[in-house]
Amino acid sequence: MSMFKGERGRGEDVDLVIQQLEEAVEILQLPETAFYLLSTPEREVRTRITIKMDNGEPAVFPAYRILWNSACGPGKGGLRFHPEETVGMIRKLAALMSWKTAVVGLPLGGAKGGVKCDVKRLSVSEKERICRQYVRRFYDVLGPRLDVPAPDVYVDSRMIGWMLDEYELRNGGKEPGVITGKPLELGGSSARFEATARGGVYVLRAAARRLGVELEGKTVAIQGYGNAGGHFHRLAEEILGLKIVAVSDSSGAIYNSHGLSASEIGQCKAETGSVIHWREADQMANWELLELDVDVLVPAALGDVITMENAESIKASMVLELANGPTTREADKILAERNITVLPDMLSSAGGVTVSYFEQVQNASNYYWPKKKVLTLLDQKMCEGLEKLMKMADKHGVDNRMAAYLVAVQKVYQAMVLRGWL
């Protein structure tokens, strides 16, 4: 594949993903031109957003939208507002979205967007001006048949409502399918805001059944207590009967061998800003939580937290990834050698984009489903994705993450061939 390697120049963030992609392409014995199309963005738009701050001073914010691959359908991927946002990170996440949508069999491609800004320092009116300017700057590349954003880091449903309104003002008509993660009143879907966590619960349940593992009463540690981690705590108790003994957020971790109640920890987090203020638990560092002697470990916050340095110390028999890229490739190999089952983020955290797809379908038909139907279809999609992954792992004798890559790459490659791109 030397012909194209010198042209990539994508940056360190995405190159970590490309290494795994290259391995998958070699296993599937795909042509070099396919690797080039799979490993480079289809469209990359970089610009700047200028607004007047509340004090009258101008401010400039770098902004991005990257479509990685649209062979399977319109782009789909979140929009992040983060003070340390980089184009390299956006590329990495856009590529991962291409594989994530393919693993669960959605007729979508992969994309990602971002604005480099510190939301915590912005007023409500300043955030609204940035949201509306983002839509104006990227209007030509967004649309239900082109590229559909969704909320990601520090972007909430209120901000999504502003962006929808701005798009429709420019479009001259109602177009709810242009963006997902909307409030229900603006055409959002039932179960959207718990979808990532619920999808992970369904994957864990299906994997346990396949492995002959009884989950009732098993212990769990959750690193990260944002939307995914918090909802997973509640749903794991309700649906699977799991006992969550440790949770954490950016301030630290807490542990209680007798279990932590989702309702009590959720209330503590809401009232004090952190789980560490719960008094009926011992405090520990986030890295210590990862190495607890539990049955299931759920990284639901940051990337690259399980590495070759701590992989030998992981004691959980199953790792369910709800964060993006929490396990490095080197750590993957160590965990596989130790017979630890890793349920990779490419599948386990795909519940959010799956329900976002359901939202698009409902927007297009102008008919909205009851929550029970959304959950039934989500369960079906996640289980189908797991089955395809497991069969691919058995066929090629690879770990689950590489199996996910093989499923995704094969699907996208076939779509490119059928379109005549190759």
152-184, pLDDT tens digit by residue? Answer: 889 999 999 999 999 999 999 999 999 999 999
Residue at which a domain ends, from 348, 378, 403: 348
Per-residue pLDDT tens for 202-239? 999 999 999 999 999 999 999 999 889 999 999 999 99
**Nearest CA-CA partner of 77 in 129, 104, 44, 112:** 112
Same domain for 87 and 167?
Answer: yes
Structural domain includes residue 415? no
Same domain for 95 and 215?
Answer: no
SS (H, E, C) the chain: CHHHHCCCCCCHHHHHHHHHHHHHHHHHCCCHHHHHHHHCCCEEEEEEEEEECCCCCEEEEEEEEEEEECCCCCEEEEEEEECCCCHHHHHHHHHHHHHHHHHCCCCCCEEEEEEECCHHHCCHHHHHHHHHHHHHHHHHHCECCCEEEEECCCCCHHHHHHHHHHHHHHHCCCCHHHCCCCCHHHCCCCCHHHHHHHHHHHHHHHHHHHHCCCCCCCEEEEECCCHHHHHHHHHHHHHHCCEEEEEEECCEEEECCCCCCHHHHHHHHHHHCCHHHCCCCEEECHHHHHCCCCCEEEECCCCCCECCCCHHHCCCCEEECCCCCCECHHHHHHHHHCCCEEECHHHHCCHHHHHHHHHHHHHHHCCCCCHHHHHHHHHHHHHHHHHHHHHHHHHHCCCHHHHHHHHHHHHHHHHHHHHCCC
Same domain for 51 and 158?
Answer: yes
Q: Annotated catalytic residue: which of 112, 127, 218, 411? A: 112
Structural domain includes residue 135? yes
Same domain for 172 and 198?
Answer: no
CA dihedral sign of residues 14, 114, 197, 362: negative
Same domain for 198 and 334?
Answer: yes
pLDDT in tens, the chain (422 residues): 333 333 343 445 677 788 899 999 999 999 999 999 999 999 999 999 999 999 999 999 999 999 999 999 999 999 999 999 999 999 999 999 999 999 999 999 999 999 999 999 999 999 999 999 999 999 999 999 999 999 988 999 999 999 999 999 999 999 999 999 999 999 999 998 899 999 999 999 999 999 999 999 999 999 999 889 999 999 999 999 999 999 999 899 999 999 999 999 999 999 999 999 999 999 999 999 999 999 999 999 888 899 999 999 999 999 999 998 899 889 999 999 999 999 999 999 999 999 999 999 999 999 999 999 999 999 999 999 999 999 999 999 999 999 999 999 999 999 999 999 99
Report how far residue 277's alpha carbon sits from residue 90's, in angstroms, rounded to the nearest whole number: 34
Structural domain includes residue 321? yes
Residues with Cβ < 8 Å from 212, sequence gap 6 or more? none
Same domain for 85 and 199?
Answer: no
Q: Is 218 a catalytic residue?
A: no
State phi, psi for 220 to the nearest 5 degrees. -140, 140
Number of structural domains in the chain: 2
**Is the pTM for the entire model greater than 0.85?**
yes
Same domain for 154 and 213?
Answer: no
Report how far residue 295's alpha carbon sits from residue 299's, in angstroms, rounded to the nearest whole number: 13
Same domain for 290 and 164?
Answer: no
Q: What is the CATH number of the domain that holds 173?
A: 3.40.50.10860
In the chain the first and final C-alpha atoms are separated, in Å, by 16
**Nearest CA-CA partner of 405 in 98, 113, 163:** 98
Structural domain includes residue 359? no
CA-based angle 114:115:120, to the nearest 5? 120
For residue 255, what are its two tokens? 């542990």
Same domain for 259 and 331?
Answer: yes
Structural domain includes residue 392? no
Same domain for 63 and 150?
Answer: yes
**The domain containing residue 328 runs over which residues?**
194-348
Same domain for 241 and 280?
Answer: yes
